[in-house]
Structure 1
Amino acid sequence: MILVTGGTGLVGAHLLYELIDGGKNVRAIYRREKTLKRVKHVFSYFSDDYEPLFDAIEWVEADINNVPKLQDAFKGVKYVYHCAAFVSFEPDKYYQLRKINIEGTANIVNLCISHSVKKLCYVSSIAAIGHHQNPEKLIDEQTPWNPEDDNSVYAITKYGAELEVWRGTQEGIDTVIVNPGIILGAGYWKGGSSGNLFRKIHNGMRYYVNGIVGYVDVFDVVNAMIKLMESDIKNENFILVSENLSFKAFQHKVAEALSVVPPKKEAKPWLLNLAWRLDWLKHKLLGKRRSLSKQAARSAISITKYDNSKLKNALNFEFKSIDESIDEICERYLLDLRQSEG
């Protein structure tokens, strides 16, 4: 039996489709029943006969911080894909991020140990990998994390979660960790998912930024995860990035695929520095949720380029081009939009 945590998220939903379509016995954790509809909708993208595939999943209502409920979910499980996480860059969400990303991961690791799970795959992030002083130098899996850097709260907690996973390897659990870049996938058009970027670009964005970061298609992520779990590779981490691309180039590619006008004005560093300070002031005075942190503003103009050769060499893996990924996602976005309006 395979257990998937975070089964109703972007990665989890696409992973479940690949596992079920491959004939695997799968159990998945969910927290709110209404989120199951999104998984079924994702399945409908890829199969006309998606209902039986969705019904083949054994769903368990649980929370990764509710250990008694998790005990039931782990019965008979031999392989675990830990996809559950809280994604936020709001500084005031730090303790919530710690609770879910670090403590929740510690619970999963402990249960893997106590239930003699054969192998664990943890979905981390490139946010948990260090950076070079030279922006043109490629970042790889050996680039050291610097705790003295002004890291985002999300990055800190994903790095902390990785430490829990590495602890598990010392206690006998074979593990692989994947560190994806910005994951591109369809079906999740709101919230912290990349789908929200497609929606915002379609609705009209005025500003672009020139920072560079790594992007990857969601199916590249899940296929890499499955191949790593089925391989003899253990206790290693792998960067999952198809291409390093500027935010401006990404915004223009999406705008072109959606047939909308791309952003015309550059958000220069001074403007971003002013914006995050005003955002902080609104939060302090009016209690508004943070929408731009200092770390996010800096990231928007930072150049971070990632080396994907370790995974390519280990699995003879070929990534989907970002252009192809964008075209597919935009097509599904427009179809969903027409259906919602009709």
Structure 2
Amino acid sequence: MIFVTGGTGLVGSHILFDLVRTGRRIRALKQNTSNLKLVSKIFSYYSDEADQLFSQIEWVEGNILDYHSLEEVLAGVTEIYHCAAIVSFHANDHDSMLNNNVRGTANLIDAALFNKVKKFCHVSSIAALGKTTDGTEINEETYWTPSKQKSAYSLSKFFSEMEVWRGIEEGLDAVIVNPSIILGPGNWDIGSPKLFQAIWKGLKYYTKGETGFVDVRDVAAAMIGLMDDQNFPDTRNQRFILNAGNMSYQEFFNKIADALQKPRPRTFAPDLILQMAWRAARLASFFSGKRPTITRDTVSGSNRINHYNGSKISQTISFNYRNLDETITDIARLFLKDIS
């Protein structure tokens, strides 16, 4: 029995799709507000038998903040893929995100130990890694250091990872993945898919920062590969950066615009303009009562260069990344199909 948290999210839904095709028993956690239609929609992107595949999932209602419910639903489970996490860059979500991501992971670790789960895969983030000061690529050994510039999301992912390492010390066999910016289709109103919508609507601004990107299908395939019985003895109790390549935000936006046959963003947004923009957005939200469209955390680092080395996984197991140009083209095609 395999247990998946965050199955209605971008990574979780793709994990579920890949797992159900293996014929294994799958149990997935959902909340009473979860949108299962989005999971079915993502299945339909890749299969004409989406409904039949979706019906193979055993959905259980619960919450990672409720330890006792986790203890019950993990009975008989041998493997866990922990994809659930709040992703937010709004100041008002600081405490709830830390509580959910860190305490929820701690609860899941404790319940896994109680039920003697054999394998555990945790989805972390490059936000839980450190930065280099000399321009060299960031790898699995570039350790996170405290800083006032760290976002609440970064804090939550770092301390969530610490709970997994704590579980490893207590006898749990686990593997951690640190994806860069994950690209994939689904809910076009949030996360990286929203960037395709923004370009479609005529985004005019770009920044000159550089970072890493990876296809969500690669993230799912990598996690399953790392957890494979033949590979796990060599991958357990390690972390793996998942990054198909590094590029500038300008180049990334241009590739999306070309794939959607829309004008490329033409105006550079320097740090000063970005700082003015998030402050103006915060002031506007004060009067409108609506959340600001941009925040300090969303623009922080937009013009910073960070390169990530995702080669460790290919040196450890048989794994190759998709070409990012093909990834962007595939997502653009699905976006255009959805809005037609």
TM-score (norm 2): 0.95
Q: Distance in 2 between matches of 1:287 and 1:269?
A: 26
Matched position secondary structure for 1:299: coil
Q: Distance in 1 between matches of 2:322 and 2:148?
A: 33
* RMSD (Å), alpha carbons: 1.4
Give the residue type in structure 1 aligned to 2:218: D
Offset of residue 280 of structure 1:
3.4
Q: Which residue of 2 aligns with 1:224?
A: 222
Give yes or no for contact 1:185–1:194 (8 Å, CA) kept in 2: yes
Offset of residue 277 of structure 1:
2.4
Give the residue type in structure 2 aligned to 1:196: K
Matched position secondary structure for 1:172: coil
Q: Which residue of 1 aligns with 2:177?
A: 178
Offset of residue 32 of structure 1:
3.5
Q: Distance in 2 between matches of 1:298 and 1:148?
A: 13
Offset of residue 206 of structure 1:
1.1
Offset of residue 297 of structure 1:
2.0
Offset of residue 308 of structure 1:
1.1
1:198 to 190, 196, 199: 196
Q: Distance in 2 between matches of 1:312 and 1:60?
A: 35
Q: Which residue of 2 aligns with 1:55?
A: 55
Q: Distance in 2 between matches of 1:240 and 1:226?
A: 13
1:148-200 CA-to-partner distances (Å, cap 9, x unmatched) read 35101100111010011100001100010000011111122112x21111111
Q: Which residue of 2 aligns with 1:249?
A: 251
Offset of residue 285 of structure 1:
5.7
2:325 to 323, 327, 330: 323
1:218-259 CA-to-partner distances (Å, cap 9, x unmatched) read 010011000111122211001000010111111110111011
Q: Distance in 2 between matches of 1:327 and 1:22?
A: 27
Matched position secondary structure for 1:300: coil
Q: Distance in 2 between matches of 1:331 and 1:286?
A: 35
Q: Which residue of 1 aligns with 2:210?
A: 212
1:263 to 262, 265, 270: 265
1:295-328 CA-to-partner distances (Å, cap 9, x unmatched) read 3323111100001121121113210011000111
Q: Which residue of 2 aligns with 1:120?
A: 120
Give yes or no for contact 2:8–2:34 (8 Å, CA) kept in 1: no
Q: Which residue of 2 aligns with 1:104?
A: 104
Give the residue type in structure 2 aligned to 1:114: F
Name the stretch that deviates more: 295-304 or 54-63. 295-304
Give the residue type in structure 2 aligned to 1:224: A
1:92-124 CA-to-partner distances (Å, cap 9, x unmatched) read 211011111101111111101100000110000
Q: 1:190 to 1:32 in 2, by over 3 A?
A: farther
Give the residue type in structure 2 aligned to 1:190: D
Give yes or no for contact 1:152–1:296 (8 Å, CA) kept in 2: no
Regions of 4+ moved over 6 Å:
none
Give yes or no for contact 1:181–1:241 (8 Å, CA) kept in 2: yes
Q: Which residue of 2 aligns with 1:75?
A: 75
Offset of residue 273 of structure 1:
1.6
Give yes or no for contact 2:125–2:179 (8 Å, CA) kept in 1: yes
- Residue 19 of structure 2 is aligned to residue 19 of structure 1: yes
TM alignment of 1:92-171, pairs within 5 A: 92-134=92-134, 136-171=135-170
Identity of aligned residues (%): 41
Matched position secondary structure for 2:35: helix
Name the stretch that deviates more: 287-296 or 212-221. 287-296
Q: Distance in 2 between matches of 1:173 and 1:93?
A: 30
Q: Distance in 2 between matches of 1:108 and 1:307?
A: 29
1:260-293 CA-to-partner distances (Å, cap 9, x unmatched) read 1111111112101211222333455654424333
Matched position secondary structure for 2:300: helix
Give the total of aligned pairs.
336
1:312 to 294, 306, 314: 314
Q: Distance in 2 between matches of 1:200 and 1:275?
A: 17
Give yes or no for contact 2:125–2:157 (8 Å, CA) kept in 1: yes
Give yes or no for contact 2:255–2:328 (8 Å, CA) kept in 1: yes
TM-score (norm 1): 0.95
Q: Distance in 2 between matches of 1:286 and 1:189?
A: 24
Q: Distance in 1 between matches of 2:67 and 2:53?
A: 29
Give yes or no for contact 1:132–1:139 (8 Å, CA) kept in 2: yes
Q: Which residue of 2 aligns with 1:89?
A: 89
Matched position secondary structure for 1:215: strand
Give the residue type in structure 1 aligned to 2:295: S
